């Protein structure tokens, strides 16, 4: 996600895992009331994938980064998004666009 200039919060990750799970038909202790995974799932996920995760505190966008976000960067972002959507067979209807 980092190469797409986008990070996930823990809440976003838990919600995304909940949304993707029905597609895999796996048994789980997720909360249908909150539409989210539990904190135990999150910590287990983070432990299993610690080598590929980068945990950071959120910060405001620096002036240099804001000024560096130009047409080429925007095009690169949408090209990567299109590639991911095609590779994973996502459609706009699936993502509630």
* Number of domains making up the chain: 2
pTM: 0.45
Question: CB neighbours of 53 closer than 8 A, spacing ≥ 6?
Answer: 46
For residues 55 and 32, the answer to whether their CB atoms sit within 8 Å is no
Same domain membership, residue 70 and residue 50: no
pLDDT number for residue 1? 45
- pLDDT tens digits for the chain (97 residues)? 444 445 678 888 888 877 776 655 555 555 555 667 778 888 888 899 888 887 777 666 666 666 667 788 888 888 998 898 889 888 777 766 5
For residues 36 and 19, the answer to whether their CB atoms sit within 8 Å is no
Same domain membership, residue 1 and residue 39: yes
Domain of 71, in residue numbers:
66-97
pLDDT number for residue 12? 83
Bin 26: left if φ > 0, else alpha if -120 < ψ < 50, else beta.
beta
Distance between CA atoms of residues 32 and 21, nearest Å: 12
Cα-flanking dihedrals φ and ψ of residue 36, to 5°? -155, 160
């Amino acid at each position: 996600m980092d190469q797409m200039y986008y990070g996930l919060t823990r809440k976003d990750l838990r919600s995304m895992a909940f949304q993707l799970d029905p597609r895999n038909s796996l048994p789980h202790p997720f909360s249908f009331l909150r539409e989210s995974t539990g904190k135990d799932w999150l910590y287990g996920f983070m432990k299993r994938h610690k080598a590929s995760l980068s945990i950071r505190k959120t910060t405001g966008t620096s002036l240099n980064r804001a000024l560096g976000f130009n047409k080429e960067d925007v095009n690169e972002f949408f090209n990567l998004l299109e590639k991911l959507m095609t590779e994973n067979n996502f459609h706009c209807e699936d993502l509630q666009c």
